[in-house]
Structure 1
Amino acid sequence: MSLTNQKHLFDLPEGITYLNIASQSPSFKSVEEAGIKTVKEKSKPYIITASRYFDPIVKLKKLFAQLVKADDYNRIACIPSVSYGLSTVANNIKLNEGDEILLIEEQFPSNYYVWERLANKYKATIKIAKQPNTTENKGKLWNENILNAISNKTAVIAMGNIHWANGTLFNLKAIREKATVHNSLFIIDGSQSVGALPFSVEELQPDALICAGYKWLFGPYGCAYGYFGSYFDNGIPLEENWSNRLNSENLSGLTNYQTEYKPLANRYCVGEHGSFIYTEMQIAALTQLLKWNPVEIQEYCLSITSDFIKKLREVGCIIEEDEFRAKHLFGIQLPNHVNIESIKNRLQQEQIFVSYRGNYVRISCHLFNTKEDFDKLTKCFLSEIQ
């Protein structure tokens, strides 16, 4: 059964057209309720038991593991941000002089600076897989550029499932296969895809997957997730957090200092990751998200955007071809004669919220949006372009 509009699960006012989930998601009502409930719980700290710092974390990790099809929740770490997760990854990679780190052109800054530092540390090289200077077959050619850039020198490949600004879809399965041939680490930023696009750790076998929690995973700002593969099983965390050590649940024995961490990725959790306020909000978010099928989310987003995209292409706007773009997030390049400030002012007047990233007007939608939202958006664009 196909998904239908789910706006009733959100507290979005009538008259607001929100097409900017790629920047910040609205909360489910259930997430808001979980947050309010646990904020009130903090007002009565005498009712907070030791188990509150541990049991919900296990539940949360199991939910995220289920979402990304990872078979062991102990490979999931609760972290505060993508930059924290990527820094953890880079902190545990050793390179040789002359090794290459492969990135895609115009990658999000948090997924660039960390690799620049690592390259400088080991006198390695950043190699950029550039996007083709063409409007036809751009996604296809860009994927070919990425695959052609992988060689015996490639030590690390770090990228997203889609391009964060224009929605270009990358063939992670083919990239994983070539990375394996060349013994390259494959680090995926799932921030703009996991939750809205199908993703399987079992199929893609990433060495690490890092995801922001406040976009397509509907959690609060300041939460993120990391999956760490076997390469990182014995790594060094960024900080020494008491709760990541073996037997830390025994609060009366904390000064019996432990040399061992909890198994696998538990060592990489941020300090105070047991925050019951954030944890309960994240649990509520993932519980709802797992009721949906990412394939059906893509189908729904395609159904409400198709007419809009067709009409914009007819007046000279450039949008990645359907086969090589995500349906929940895509960028629009405007014709040269169009005044972008005029577009911004018109959308602001109509209370339509989008993003502006580089040369793109970025549109990101979900199940709370409707075809009528895009009919309204179409009128705004056409009035400024024609």
Structure 2
Amino acid sequence: MNSETLRPLFDLPRDLAYLNCAYMGPMPRFAANAGQTAYDQRQRPWELDIQDRFFDQPEALRAEAAKLFGAAADDIALIPAASYGLAIAARNLPLSTGQEILALDGQFPSNVYIWREKAAQSGATMKTVTRSANESWTEAVLAAIGPQTAIAALPEVHWADGGRVDLKAVSDKLRAHGAKLVLDLTQSLGTAPFDLAAIRPDFAIAAGYKWLLGPYTMGYGYIAPEHQSGIPLEEGWIVREGAEDFARLVDYADRHAPGARRFDMGERSGFQLVPAALESLKWLNGLGLDTLRDGLLARTTDIEDAVRPYGAHCDTPDRGGHYLCLALPDHAPKDLARRLMARGVSVSQRGDRLRVTPHLYTDGADIDRFASAIKAELA
């Protein structure tokens, strides 16, 4: 599907090349409209359909999220943030004195702080995995796994350099040592197929406002069936058996709703959030994950080809196909991202790298604008 068909679905000015989806994905117009309609309806609460708003729409969202993980709807929890889902994982995984938790060097903080705290409480240690310039993250992680490894808390794609982790290879070695795998898929879910059966994570989470093009404060967590009887962070009313019957809520239920629903956040029905998130996920699933993978790789490849003559290039081994982190020449301005924004290009700067993350709405005019701006600043 070409960008000329898709770009009008987004409120993207023609004089702006938005190449910053890893920072925040723009919601499609139809998703934003669904959210606005929900806000308008919220002014008249007496008109809200209880079954639809409290239960049916969240269940529809759960089912759409499950497709992205390659999971069953029962395996998905609705969460507000990556940190929330990671806290669920930390609460429900055993850890003993002398064991290790693996994390990547420079990993996003939400997938570090919770494990530092758990290690400190358990007498375990954090082991930071570093890589050499010509080494992939997969190679570095495989070399770090050993008998003391209890948990590997990893992304699929590193948020700063775009390097990919071969999660199947890592999972196989972890299981050989009896270790657990916790994934933050915020920078990858929805950009390519996720092979759940091969990777077999214990927990996997994703915030919904980046590549999933949804609202802030709505995310998704996969909880493997063997962990679904665990301890949630909250004890909300709506995750209990029989919660649909408002007349009997004080007939307190001991049993939780089935599957991963016990781990849902409080107020998970999010009247203003769920309708928008649902429309975005339905659209992504309608496009198909193979289409997303191929289209995003084609765009990042075209972008790299366009700017390579000016000294910007990707030197990350085995990068994620949707993710381009450009190494810059020594004379590049320290405030390059700000300068590019002044020329109508939105990207992110992470240290000495420029993070360029398009989506399927990115077209040839966007790539030309970026290349011209890079030429003006670097050539």
- Normalising by structure 2, what TM-score? 0.95
Task: Output the amino acid matched with 2:63.
Answer: K
Q: Find 1:194's aligned residue among 176, 184, 189.
A: 189
Task: Work out whether residues 168 and 320 of structure 1, in 8 Å CA contact, stay in contact via their aligned partners in 2.
Answer: no
Q: Find the aligned partners of 2:319 and 2:167 in 1 and give their Cα distance.
A: 13
Equivalence for 1:326: 320
Aligned runs of 1:280-295 on 2, under 5 Å? 280-295=275-290
Q: Find the aligned partners of 1:347 and 1:248 in 2 and give their Cα distance.
A: 52
Task: Map Cα deviations across residues 73-112 of structure 1 (whole Å, 9 max, x no partner).
Answer: 1111101000011011111122110010011110000010
Question: Once the 2 structures are TM-superposed, how far is the Cα of residue 383 of structure 1 from its aligned partner?
Answer: 2.5
Question: Once the 2 structures are TM-superposed, how far is the Cα of residue 373 of structure 1 from its aligned partner?
Answer: 1.3
Task: Work out whether residues 9 and 28 of structure 1, in 8 Å CA contact, stay in contact via their aligned partners in 2.
Answer: yes
Q: Find the aligned partners of 2:58 and 2:338 in 1 and give their Cα distance.
A: 44
Question: Once the 2 structures are TM-superposed, how far is the Cα of residue 48 of structure 1 from its aligned partner?
Answer: 1.4
**Counterpart check, 1:138 vs 2:135:** yes
Secondary structure, counterpart of 2:320 in structure 1: coil
Equivalence for 1:211: 206
Equivalence for 2:15: 15
**Counterpart check, 1:353 vs 2:346:** yes
**Counterpart check, 1:340 vs 2:344:** no
Residues 1:31 and 1:308: Cα distance change in structure 2 (over 3 Å): closer
Equivalence for 1:37: 37
Equivalence for 1:184: 179
Task: Work out whether residues 103 and 127 of structure 2, in 8 Å CA contact, stay in contact via their aligned partners in 1.
Answer: yes
Question: Once the 2 structures are TM-superposed, how far is the Cα of residue 34 of structure 1 from its aligned partner?
Answer: 0.6
Task: Work out whether residues 304 and 313 of structure 2, in 8 Å CA contact, stay in contact via their aligned partners in 1.
Answer: no
Task: Output the amino acid matched with 1:138.
Answer: E
Bigger shift: 312-321 or 217-226? Answer: 312-321
Question: Once the 2 structures are TM-superposed, how far is the Cα of residue 344 of structure 1 from its aligned partner?
Answer: 3.2
Equivalence for 2:28: 28
Task: Work out whether residues 68 and 190 of structure 2, in 8 Å CA contact, stay in contact via their aligned partners in 1.
Answer: yes
Residues 1:152 and 1:330: Cα distance change in structure 2 (over 3 Å): same
Task: Output the amino acid matched with 1:385.
Answer: L
Secondary structure, counterpart of 2:287 in structure 1: coil
Root-mean-square deviation (CA, aligned residues, Å) is 1.6
Structure 1 unpaired stretches of 5+? none
Equivalence for 1:238: 233
Question: Once the 2 structures are TM-superposed, how far is the Cα of residue 345 of structure 1 from its aligned partner?
Answer: 4.2
Q: Find the aligned partners of 1:207 and 1:178 in 2 and give their Cα distance.
A: 14
Q: Find 2:355's aligned residue among 332, 347, 362.
A: 362
Equivalence for 1:62: 63
Give the paired residue count.
Answer: 377
Structure 2 unpaired stretches of 5+? none
Identity %: 33
Residues 1:184 and 1:29: Cα distance change in structure 2 (over 3 Å): same
Task: Output the amino acid matched with 1:63.
Answer: E
Task: Map Cα deviations across residues 124-144 of structure 1 (whole Å, 9 max, x no partner).
Answer: 010111021x2xx332xx321
Question: Once the 2 structures are TM-superposed, how far is the Cα of residue 3 of structure 1 from its aligned partner?
Answer: 4.9
Q: Find the aligned partners of 1:302 and 1:79 in 2 and give their Cα distance.
A: 29
Equivalence for 2:165: 170
Question: Once the 2 structures are TM-superposed, how far is the Cα of residue 311 of structure 1 from its aligned partner?
Answer: 5.1
Q: Find the aligned partners of 1:293 and 1:254 in 2 and give their Cα distance.
A: 40
Runs of 4+ in 1 over 6 A off after TM superposition: none
Q: Find the aligned partners of 2:111 and 2:139 in 1 and give their Cα distance.
A: 21
Secondary structure, counterpart of 1:324 in structure 2: coil
Question: Once the 2 structures are TM-superposed, how far is the Cα of residue 54 of structure 1 from its aligned partner?
Answer: 0.7
Q: Find the aligned partners of 1:382 and 1:28 in 2 and give their Cα distance.
A: 31
Residues 1:100 and 1:231: Cα distance change in structure 2 (over 3 Å): farther
Q: Find 2:247's aligned residue among 242, 252, 258.
A: 252
Q: Find the aligned partners of 2:345 and 2:312 in 1 and give their Cα distance.
A: 19
**Counterpart check, 1:83 vs 2:83:** yes
Task: Map Cα deviations across residues 168-220 of structure 1 (whole Å, 9 max, x no partner).
Answer: 11101101111111111111111010101221322321111100001111110
Task: Map Cα deviations across residues 223-252 of structure 1 (whole Å, 9 max, x no partner).
Answer: 110010134222111111000111111111
Task: Work out whether residues 19 and 346 of structure 2, in 8 Å CA contact, stay in contact via their aligned partners in 1.
Answer: yes
Equivalence for 1:267: 262
Q: Find the aligned partners of 1:10 and 1:312 in 2 and give their Cα distance.
A: 25
Q: Find the aligned partners of 2:303 and 2:28 in 1 and give their Cα distance.
A: 27
Task: Work out whether residues 4 and 300 of structure 1, in 8 Å CA contact, stay in contact via their aligned partners in 2.
Answer: no
Residues 1:61 and 1:38: Cα distance change in structure 2 (over 3 Å): same
Task: Work out whether residues 165 and 330 of structure 1, in 8 Å CA contact, stay in contact via their aligned partners in 2.
Answer: no
Equivalence for 1:101: 101
- Normalising by structure 1, what TM-score? 0.93
